Structure 1
Amino acid sequence: MTTLPPAQEAFSRSAPVRLWEEGFARDPDRYYAALRAQGPVGWGELAPGVPAYIVTERQAALEVLRDTEAFSHDPRPWEDTVPDDSPVLGMMRWRPNALFADGADHVRYRTTLIDVFDDVEPHDLRARVHRAVNVLVSRFGPAGRADLVADFSRPLMALIFNNLFGLPDSQGDRLNRGLGKMMEGGDQAGEGEAEFAQYVLELIAAKAERRGDDLPSRLLDHPAGLTAEEVTWQVFLTLGAGFEPTANLVSNALSRILGNPLYYSTLTSGARPVMDAVLEVLHHETPLANYGIYYAVEPLEFHGAWIRAAVPVVVSYGALGRFAEREVTSERRPNDASHLSWGAGPHTCPVRQHTLLIVTEAIERLTQWLPDVEPVLARERLSWRPGPFHRSLTALPVRFSPRSPDQPGDPA
């Protein structure tokens, strides 16, 4: 049995910073500051009784993300230490897909995903986004009021991803509901995981029986020869990883844009691109705040902390953004290489360009439809969904001049 040095023993016994509390959603800065005060690696808790090391410093984060010898993505040793009803298991349990694999298995899974997404041409993806935006704005436009979370960003992703994965628009509510429960990690997490898993199983069964012009069919026919079970878990990953963070990136960016009238006017006039707002969110309010989860292969000392095996090591993209050395200003704009929201190393997000295209096109199309949209609430009065993994608005109420889908001047 390894004996810990006194300072490291005290660290592991200190009260963890509880990222599952409601207060974390309201004021993450306070929690990140408490973690940061412990050093580059803090002691936190993802759910009651589920401790984790939280990495809050950029250099330490890069070492975790890039060192495949010392850190693994495989959570199975950790799974043996948590109860079956843990609310974070839905997001963290092992599955045979690219997220939870290392080495040759990871390369095989990742390559198939890159290949099938590369078949989605930018002009085709742009057309899918425009169609989805048009469908949604035609629903709420005549009312002159909307919630850009419940009425726009979340159903938008359901429409786009169902379209890419070969399902009808009518299935969007099932996807939205199951993923939402699972991501929040509360009492309904297990129910949400089961609903989402059933959704994916039905989808793969349908595509195994009859192929279509969609991503699951391409995965089933890929030369890598994935089994139906492997395809199921790649789809489970890509639907989940595509839907939730992208929806949150849209709504988080819109809240920043609409909360600053001068900023909004520069966007609608074309003086400033939407991408600037999106990159600011990725820097300072990233939607997938604490989901860079690794495990030490062997116990090791790391940046002043004694890291035990089978305890999650979480790269906190949220904390990294909050403690960025350089704030973004109008003179010094962000760029997509100066933050870590996409990860780094072998597990870097393989479809970030697709994500950025979806988000920027959705926001631009919305502002073309609703050029005078304005928030109902000041940004500091908005509320955020609970959960340790994400930064996600509960609602973004807005008002605007009513728009009818057949009135003159509609976007082309």
Structure 2
Amino acid sequence: MTTYPPDQRDFSRSAPVRLWEEGFASDPRHYYGALRAQGPVGWAELAPGVPAYVVTDRRAALDVLHDEETFSHDPRAWETTVPVDSPVLGMMRWRPNALFSDGAAHVRYRTTLIDVFDLVEPHDLRGRVHRAVRLLAGRIGPRGEADLVGDFARPLLALVLNDLFGLPDHEGDRLNDSLGKMMEGGAQAAEGEAQYAQYVLELIDAKARTPGDDLPSRLLDHPARLTREEVTWQVFLTLGAGYEPTANLLSNTLSRILGNPAYYSTLTSGARPVLDAVVEVLHHETPLANYGIYYARRPVSFHGVWLRDAVPVVVSYGALGHFSEQEVTDGRHPNDASHLSWGAGAHACPVKQHTLLLVTEAIEQLTQWLPDLDPVLPRARLSWRPGPFHRSLTALPVRFSPRSPSSDQPGVPS
């Protein structure tokens, strides 16, 4: 029997906070409060029978994010402890890519991703966003009503990313459906993972046969000479990481803006930059709430808790944001350097500038085109998708004055 230091908590016999429950999506603050009541590190379940340590304190989170000697991103020891049909395996199983690697392998994979994304110039990305907004404008403008999740945020990301990855527009529904199932971690998670993997495999096969001016082709041709399997898993990571969290960041920001009419008017008038709203969401309602997943390399004492190995240690960006929102900020707006939604340390997000540009440009284009967006429901009545990892709206219904993208009205994308 393992003997724990007398001043350390061992949660192995404690009831976990169940982040997979339906109630977590509708009221995450209640669950984060229960975790924080346990101290800087709480005890939770990501799925039935899948326990995890959850870090809800900023200082403890930074200690995890910067300590590569103690914490690893490699989940393979953990994988042997969970059922093969666990609904969270699709999001957490090991793959040879930048997210699940440490040391030299991580540096090699990360360097290739930085290199190929650096070739995406801001003006090029901006043009792709404008094109996507124009296409969506033609669909929703004349109706005078729309769901800004299903009709705008998610299809916009599918259009932009498929364009960057060398896929046609009509493939967007496959991307949306497969990643949505996998991210929610429910009964359809395994099906979603298989569908998304097939999507990526078909893409890499096509680019290996006929290279183009796109991200997968650049990875296949990179001087690091990644194997085809390695390229497949880098694309699996980057396409998924680019789609789900960014679509959620876009819709969460729109809901936050529209839920505050005074705030919305300052944005549409140009008195306040859209970036302020995006940064507020990254602080207080981050789209990737519980996906900073690490593993202690060995049993270790950490902020008053005895961490076992082969148990996930989850940095909860959602909990950090919730508790930072409760703090007095003396009237100042948060800045992009003071939150942890991009991560920190060796695994910090390498493409945050691309993400910020994409989201701010999409919102600016939409609100210029439709300056009278009016939410159908108050923000407190919006519903959220289930799942332990994300903060993601189910829908964001709005009304507006019908407009045609081909009209001569000011603000129409062209």
- Asked whether the two chains share a fold, i.e. TM above 0.5, the reply is yes
Query: Segments of 4+ in structure 1 off by > 6 A?
Result: none
With the length of structure 2 as denominator, give the TM-score of the two structures. 0.98
1:240 counterpart residue number:
240
2:362 counterpart residue number:
362
SS at 1:43's partner residue? strand
- Asked whether the equivalents of residues 146 and 397 of structure 1 are also in contact (C-alpha less than 8 Å), the reply is yes
Question: Whole-Å Cα distance in 2 between the matches of residues 139 and 329 of structure 1?
Answer: 41
- Asked whether the equivalents of residues 62 and 344 of structure 2 are also in contact (C-alpha less than 8 Å), the reply is yes
Q: CA shift at 1:180, angstroms?
A: 0.2
SS at 1:324's partner residue? helix
Q: CA shift at 1:14, angstroms?
A: 1.1
- Asked whether the equivalents of residues 280 and 328 of structure 1 are also in contact (C-alpha less than 8 Å), the reply is no
Alignment of 1:4-403 (within 5 A): 4-5=4-5, 8=8, 11-324=11-324, 327=327, 331-403=331-403
Question: Whole-Å Cα distance in 2 between the matches of residues 222 and 197 of structure 1?
Answer: 22
Question: Whole-Å Cα distance in 2 between the matches of residues 150 and 327 of structure 1?
Answer: 34
Call closer, same or farther: CA 1:73–1:10 in 2, change over 3 Å.
closer
Q: CA shift at 1:10, angstroms?
A: 5.4
- Asked whether the equivalents of residues 383 and 393 of structure 2 are also in contact (C-alpha less than 8 Å), the reply is yes
Question: What residue identity is the alignment partner of 2:101?
Answer: A
Question: What residue identity is the alignment partner of 2:384?
Answer: W
Question: What residue identity is the alignment partner of 2:43?
Answer: W
Question: What residue identity is the alignment partner of 1:281?
Answer: V
Question: Whole-Å Cα distance in 2 between the matches of residues 325 and 216 of structure 1?
Answer: 39
Question: Whole-Å Cα distance in 1 between the matches of residues 225 and 330 of structure 2?
Answer: 49
Q: CA shift at 1:324, angstroms?
A: 1.2
Question: Whole-Å Cα distance in 2 between the matches of residues 3 and 51 of structure 1?
Answer: 20
Question: What residue identity is the alignment partner of 1:92?
Answer: M
Q: CA shift at 1:325, angstroms?
A: 6.9
Question: Whole-Å Cα distance in 1 between the matches of residues 256 and 330 of structure 2?
Answer: 14
Q: CA shift at 1:329, angstroms?
A: 6.4
Question: What residue identity is the alignment partner of 1:313?
Answer: V
- Asked whether the equivalents of residues 149 and 394 of structure 1 are also in contact (C-alpha less than 8 Å), the reply is yes
Question: Whole-Å Cα distance in 2 between the matches of residues 176 and 274 of structure 1?
Answer: 26
Per-residue CA distance 1:136-177 (angstroms, 9 max, x = gap): 111011000000000000011100000000000000000000
- Asked whether the equivalents of residues 295 and 311 of structure 1 are also in contact (C-alpha less than 8 Å), the reply is yes
Q: CA shift at 1:8, angstroms?
A: 4.5
Question: What residue identity is the alignment partner of 1:41?
Answer: V
SS at 1:191's partner residue? helix
Per-residue CA distance 1:255-284 (angstroms, 9 max, x = gap): 000011110000000000001110000000
- Asked whether the equivalents of residues 182 and 189 of structure 1 are also in contact (C-alpha less than 8 Å), the reply is yes
2:413 counterpart residue number:
411
Question: Whole-Å Cα distance in 1 between the matches of residues 281 and 9 of structure 2?
Answer: 37
SS at 1:339's partner residue? coil
Question: Whole-Å Cα distance in 2 between the matches of residues 186 and 386 of structure 1?
Answer: 8
Question: Whole-Å Cα distance in 2 between the matches of residues 327 and 58 of structure 1?
Answer: 13
With the length of structure 1 as denominator, give the TM-score of the two structures. 0.98
Q: CA shift at 1:368, angstroms?
A: 1.2
SS at 2:356's partner residue? helix
Question: Whole-Å Cα distance in 2 between the matches of residues 328 and 206 of structure 1?
Answer: 53
Q: CA shift at 1:77, angstroms?
A: 0.1
